[in-house]
Structure 1
Amino acid sequence: MTKIIRIILLFIGSILFLDGLILILKAKINFGTVIPFLLGLILLIHAFYWTKIQSFLHNRIKLKRLWQTIWVAFLIWCASFFYFVWALQQKIDDHALVPPVKAMIVLGAGIEKNGQPSPALAKRLDRAAPIALAQPKALVIVSGGVGFNEKQSEAEVMANYLHAKYHLPLQQIALEDQSTSTELNLINSKHILAEHDIQLNQPIAIITNDFHIIRSAAIARKQGYQNILMLSSETPLSIRYNAILREYFAFVSGWILNEY
C-alpha cells in the first residue's frame, strides 16, 4: 500500500511541479502557476520521504493528528475544486445560433509584448467576431485599460484586431479603455451602453473564456445586467488548467469581497 501511495504522489507531484515551474520560468506568475508548483513540491517530498515522515510522526501523536487534519482539509479542498470544474462545464455554451442582442461586451484578458492580444484574449475576439458580423446593428464593446508596462489599452488592441482580421467596421466598436478588472469592465461598460440608449434589461451578450463564465456572470448580475447571454470561448490548452485553478481562487475571493 505504501508503494502505491508513493507512486501516486510521485506521478501527480511531478506533473504539478513541472507544469508550475515551466510557466513560472515563462514569467507567468500567479495563483494558477504558483499553487501547482508548491503542491507538486510538497507531494514530491512526501513521495521521496514517505517512510521517514511516517517514522518521524510515529511517536508524535499531536503532530501526527495535525498532519492528518491537513491532509483531510486538502482532500476536501480538492473535492471543492473538482466541483467548481464540473460547474464550469455545465455553464459553457454549445456555440449554437446566437439570438439577436443589442450589444456584446468582450472582456479583456491581457496583451502580449508585441502589442497583440494574448492567446486567451484572441480566443474571445475570435468568438465575438462572427456574431458581430452576423448582427451588424449590435454594438461591440471591447473592454480593457492600460496594464503595467503597456503603452496601449487592451480595448485599442482588441478593436484593431477585430478590424484588421475580420474587417469589422470601427463604427460598430466602442472602446472601454479604463478598466483593470472584470468588475470595472462591466461597470464602465454600463456608461457606454447608456450613451447608445441601450438598457440593462435588453439582451446583452458577454464574451469571455470558458473558465471565466461563472464569475463574470455573477458580477454582471450584481451590476444590474438583467438579460445577459454568456458566450464562452475556448482557453488555449497550454494555460487552460492553470487558468481554471487561478479562477477558482478568484471566485472564492470575489465571494469574500462581495463582488457578487
Structure 2
Amino acid sequence: MQSPAKQWLRRSIRGLLASLCLAAVIFISTGYIVYRQAQRAELRPVDALLVLGAAQWDGEPSPVLEARLTEAIRLYRLGYARRIIVSGGTGLNDTRSEASVAYDYLIEHSIDPTLIISVAQGSDTRSTLLAVHDEMQRQQIDSLLIVTDPPHLLRALKMAHDYGITSFGAPVKANSPTTNWASIKATSREALAYLAYVLLDQ
C-alpha cells in the first residue's frame, strides 16, 4: 500500500498532466480558428472600410501599412463602401500618427479627402477600436469591413463585436505569412493574444 505522500504526488502529477493536455487542446483549437478566419473574406457592402493602423516610417507607410491601404483602395473602388476610416496613434519617438500617414497616402492615390475619416488615437487593437467606435457614433456609421492582416482578423473582429460594432473581415492577402514556419508563428502568437483577451481581458 502506498503512503499518503506518494498518493498525493501521483494525484498531483495526474492533475498537472490533465491540465497541460487541456491547455494544449484549447491552444490548438484556438489556433485552428485563427487560421480559418484568416482565410475567410467576408466581403459585402458596408458603411465604411476600417484600415487598422500599422507602423509608419518617417512619414511613409511601412510595407505592412501600405498593403492594408492598397487593399482598402481596391475594395473602395469595387464599391464595398463609400468611406474609409484610417486609424492608429503616434508611436514612441514618432512625430506623426499612423492615421495621418495613411490619410495622406489615400489622398495621394486619388481618394476624395471628404470621404476619409482619420482616427489618430489608439496604441493597440483594443484602444483603436474603442476610438473608432466613438467616431462611428458621431459619423452615424453602422457597419465596417475591417482591413488587416489575416492572422489578426479573429481578434480584431471579436473585439469589434464586443464593442457593439457590426463588422466583417477583409484579410490583406499580401500580408499573409510566406512560409509554413512563419504561418505557425503568426497563428500561435495570435492564438495566445486572443486567449489573453478572452480569458484575462488583456
Both structures adopt the same fold (TM-score exceeding 0.5): yes
Q: Which has the higher contact order (CA 8 A, sep 6+)?
A: 2
1:79 deviation in Å? 4.4
Pairwise CA RMSD: 3.1
Aligned equivalent of 2:56, options 88, 111, 136: 111
Deviations 1:164-196 (A, max 9, x none): 3x3222221111001111111111112222232
Q: 2:44 touches 2:80 (CA, 8 Å); kept in 1? A: no
Counterparts of residues 108-187 of structure 1 (less than 5 Å):
108-112=53-57, 114-135=58-79, 138-164=82-108, 166-187=109-130
Task: State, as a whole percentage, how many aligned pairs show the same letter.
Answer: 25
The structure with the larger Rg is 1
Aligned equivalent of 1:87, options 26, 33, 36: 33
1:76 deviation in Å? 5.7
Aligned equivalent of 2:152, options 212, 219, 222: 212
Q: In the alignment, which residue of structure 2 is the partner of 1:254?
A: 197
Unpaired runs of 5+ in structure 1?
A: 1-65
TM norm structure 1:
0.61
Counterparts of residues 185-204 of structure 1 (less than 5 Å):
185-198=128-141, 202-204=142-144
Unpaired runs of 5+ in structure 2?
A: 1-11
Report which of the two has the higher share of helix: 1
Partner Cα separation in structure 2 for residue 168 and residue 251 of structure 1? 34
Partner Cα separation in structure 2 for residue 175 and residue 92 of structure 1? 26
1:132 deviation in Å? 1.4
TM norm structure 2:
0.77
Q: In the alignment, which residue of structure 2 is the partner of 1:237?
A: 178
AA aligned to 2:51 is V
Q: 1:123 touches 1:209 (CA, 8 Å); kept in 2? A: no
Cα gap change, 1:67/1:233 in structure 2, threshold over 3 Å: closer, same or farther? farther
Deviations 1:219-260 (A, max 9, x none): 1111111x321211133437544333322221122123336x
Q: When the two structures are aligned, how many residues end up with a matched partner? A: 191
